[in-house]
């Protein structure tokens, strides 16, 4: 049977999944001499499984360097995975040819972190929104103008503002333009990479509410990448927690925030600032290990207050999914999940 050559491959029946990521790995070879001696491997992502349902928001959380953005770039087709399988809207992602990128762009888009850096200062808003339409074959002037005006209204801007340049807008307005650019091709999935972290606190709630409104109005599915668990809790239906290139916990947002079963998830939640004291309740001790030289045993064991001998000698277990859909990768998950933050640390 002839294999399709386009990026989105053959149609595959599925249920209500809009995205499935299976055993995704992205490794980068570093160093080495002329003969390749001394070459080391950076395992930025190492065996990640993710699922996103239609109309759902999946929060992807973890410290900087945990692999969140690498997962996003792989889904967008901007990085070639070392291994793994990505299925978008029932179709298998295949090659990374430039023509196939166009097909992928109509399915998934990204809202970037910094609205100051992600917009071309030499282009008007109109040009910023028109260019993707032309690249994807929309040539009728009336249709282009109508779609640009409609999208600007969707994000809370006026069509007559389209002749302005990015520097003429506030930070929140620029992020609205970035959202409009991501949505102009009518994608089904939007990856939001820290979409409010560069904005003033007073503006963040407006952008979060806008994203939630657009999700319902346009029938979108989101992947919300953030280190701000307050944003993730507010927006997400499910949450996946990443640590050093792997998912360590995954489940419904209420399960994650009320009954976290991995010590890293507990530490992240405990570090959410107390609104009364404007300071974190607790912090995660130590720094993220060097991914070029990961620790023996469980990757989190050097920072884990519950670590025992098995944690320091044996790699963490596979990500085991319970009957309620809550999945966790930890030797002591049952004890920690049952006791919560009250479990006594190991000596």
Q: How confident is the model at residue 126 (pLDDT cuts 50, 70, 90)?
A: very high
What pLDDT score was predicted for residue 55? 95
Residue 327, φ and ψ in degrees, nearest 5: -120, 140
Q: Mean pLDDT throughout 30-38?
A: 63
Specify the pairing of strand 189-193 against strand 108-111: parallel
Instruction: Calculate the CA dihedral of residues 232, 184, 108, 230 and round it to 10 degrees.
Output: 0
Q: How confident is the model at residue 317 (pLDDT cuts 50, 70, 90)?
A: confident
Q: In 263-295, which positions are buried (b, 16+ CB within 10 angstroms) versus exposed (e)?
A: bbbbbbbeeeeeeeeeeeeeebeeebbebeebe
How many other CB atoms are found less than 10 A from the CB of residue 137? 7
Q: Mean pLDDT throughout 82-110?
A: 80
Q: Closest Cα partner for 62 from 52, 50, 53?
A: 50
Residue 241 CA: distances (Å) to CA of 8, 62, 65, 95, 257: 28, 6, 13, 28, 11
Measured between alpha carbons, how far is 346 from 266 in angstroms, rounded to an integer?
Answer: 16
Is the whole-model pTM more than 0.75?
yes
Q: Closest Cα partner for 51 from 26, 76, 16, 27?
A: 16
Q: Is the pLDDT of residue 3 over 50?
A: no
Measured between alpha carbons, how far is 110 from 15 in angstroms, rounded to an integer?
Answer: 24
Identify which has the larger pLDDT, 30 or 238.
238
Q: In 310-332, which positions are buried (b, 16+ CB within 10 angstroms) versus exposed (e)?
A: ebeeeebeebeeeeeebbbbbbb
By percentage, how much of the chain surpasses pLDDT 70?
84
Q: Mean pLDDT throughout 292-310?
A: 88
What pLDDT score was predicted for residue 285? 62
Q: Mean pLDDT throughout 259-283?
A: 71
> Which domains does the chain show, CATH number per domain?
51-79+94-235 (3.40.50.300), 262-340 (no CATH)
Specify the pairing of strand 221-226 against strand 57-61: parallel
Residue 21, φ and ψ in degrees, nearest 5: -120, 125
**pLDDT winner (highest mean) among 147-156, 258-267, 337-346:** 147-156
Identify which has the larger pLDDT, 12 or 16.
16
Using alpha carbons only, give the angle 175, 18, 218 rounded to the nearest 5 degrees: 45
């Amino acid at each position: 049977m002839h294999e399709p050559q386009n990026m989105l491959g053959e149609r595959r029946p599925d249920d209500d999944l809009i995205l499935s990521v299976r055993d995704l790995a992205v490794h980068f070879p570093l160093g080495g001499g002329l003969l390749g001696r001394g070459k080391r491997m950076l395992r930025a992502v190492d065996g990640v499984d993710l699922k996103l349902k239609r109309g759902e928001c999946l929060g992807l959380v973890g410290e900087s360097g945990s692999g969140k953005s690498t997962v996003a770039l792989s889904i967008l087709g901007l990085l070639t995975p070392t291994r793994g399988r990505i299925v978008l809207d029932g179709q298998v992602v295949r090659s990374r040819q430039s023509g196939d990128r166009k097909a992928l762009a109509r399915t998934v888009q990204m809202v970037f972190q910094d609205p100051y850096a992600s917009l071309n200062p030499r282009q008007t808003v109109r040009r910023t929104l028109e260019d993707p339409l032309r690249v994807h074959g929309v040539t009728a002037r009336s249709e282009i103008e109508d779609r640009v005006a409609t999208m600007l209204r969707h994000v809370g801007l006026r069509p007559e503002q389209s002749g302005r340049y990015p520097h003429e807008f506030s930070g929140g307005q620029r992020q609205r333009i970035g959202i409009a650019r991501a949505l102009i091709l009518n994608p089904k999935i939007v990856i939001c990479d820290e979409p409010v972290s560069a904005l003033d606190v007073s503006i963040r709630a407006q952008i979060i509410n806008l994203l939630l409104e657009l999700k319902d109005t346009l029938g979108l599915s989101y992947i919300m990448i953030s280190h701000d668990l307050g944003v993730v809790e507010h927006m997400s239906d499910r949450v996946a927690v990443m640590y050093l290139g792997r998912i360590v916990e995954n489940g419904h947002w209420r399960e994650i925030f009320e009954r976290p079963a991995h010590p890293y998830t507990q530490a992240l939640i405990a570090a959410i600032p107390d609104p009364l004291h404007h300071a974190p309740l607790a912090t995660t001790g130590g720094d993220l290990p060097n991914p070029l030289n990961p620790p023996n045993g469980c990757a989190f064991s050097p920072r884990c207050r519950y670590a025992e001998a098995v944690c320091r000698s044996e790699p963490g277990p596979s990500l085991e999914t319970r009957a309620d859909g809550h999945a966790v990768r930890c030797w002591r998950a049952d004890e920690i999940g049952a006791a919560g933050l009250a479990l006594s640390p190991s000596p």
